[in-house]
């Protein structure tokens, strides 16, 4: 049985993302106290141990725990199935789209593992400007998801512009 190249790419990239994501979260979880922060680049970037019971930017973090558990334990498997469904129709030589979907897939698995283990996601990448302007902490899986989605949006934008050449800058 021969496995299609795009599924091998998906497995390799998603596996790499999950491995790096889980290794970094394990390190933070076992070496940091909750809320502990280490300055990496002064006035710009810290490693800060945060537990996020919600989604991106703490979305739904104040919802009832029973709702969060049902929601966050049921949505990721559906998203993974949806990604596989989309990937089925992607051309085997469309490496950019395959890599983008693989990043989203791997990131979703990385965060889902946290949900299954802890009922929250471990975040630790903490960017800020002089601790005055802050971005919510995130992790490797989040980065892969956002990067993959950004690439898919760029692909859609480029396809739309190529279909409508009269649209200019």
Task: Single out the catalytic residue among 21, 114, 126, 142.
Answer: 142
**pTM metric for this prediction:** 0.88
123 as an active site residue: the answer is: yes
Rounded Cα distance, 109 and 111, in Å = 6
Distances (CA, A) of 15 to 106, 159, 165: 7, 29, 39
21 as an active site residue: the answer is: no
Task: Single out the catalytic residue among 21, 114, 123, 126.
Answer: 123
The Cβ-side half-sphere exposure at 8, using a 13 Å CA radius, reads: 6
pLDDT tens-digit readout, 58-93: 677 777 778 878 888 899 999 999 999 999 999 999
Buried b (16+ CB within 10 A) or exposed e, 2-14: eeeebeebbeebb
Number of H helices, E strands in the chain: 4, 4
């Amino acid at each position: 049985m021969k496995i299609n190249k795009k599924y091998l790419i998906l497995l390799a990239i998603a596996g790499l993302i999950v491995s790096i994501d889980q290794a970094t979260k394990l390190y933070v979880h076992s070496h940091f106290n909750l809320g502990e922060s280490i300055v990496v680049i002064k006035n710009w970037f810290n490693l800060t141990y945060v537990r996020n019971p919600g989604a991106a930017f703490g979305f739904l973090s104040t919802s009832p725990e029973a709702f969060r558990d049902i929601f966050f334990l049921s949505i990721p498997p559906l998203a993974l199935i949806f990604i596989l469904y989309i990937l089925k129709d992607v051309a085997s030589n469309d490496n950019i789209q395959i890599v983008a979907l693989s990043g989203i897939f791997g990131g979703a698995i990385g965060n889902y593992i946290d949900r299954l283990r802890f009922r929250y996601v471990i975040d630790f990448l903490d960017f800020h400007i002089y601790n005055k302007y802050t971005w919510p902490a995130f992790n490797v899986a989040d980065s892969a998801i956002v990067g993959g989605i950004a690439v898919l949006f760029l692909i859609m934008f480029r396809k739309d512009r190529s279909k409508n050449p009269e649209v200019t800058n």
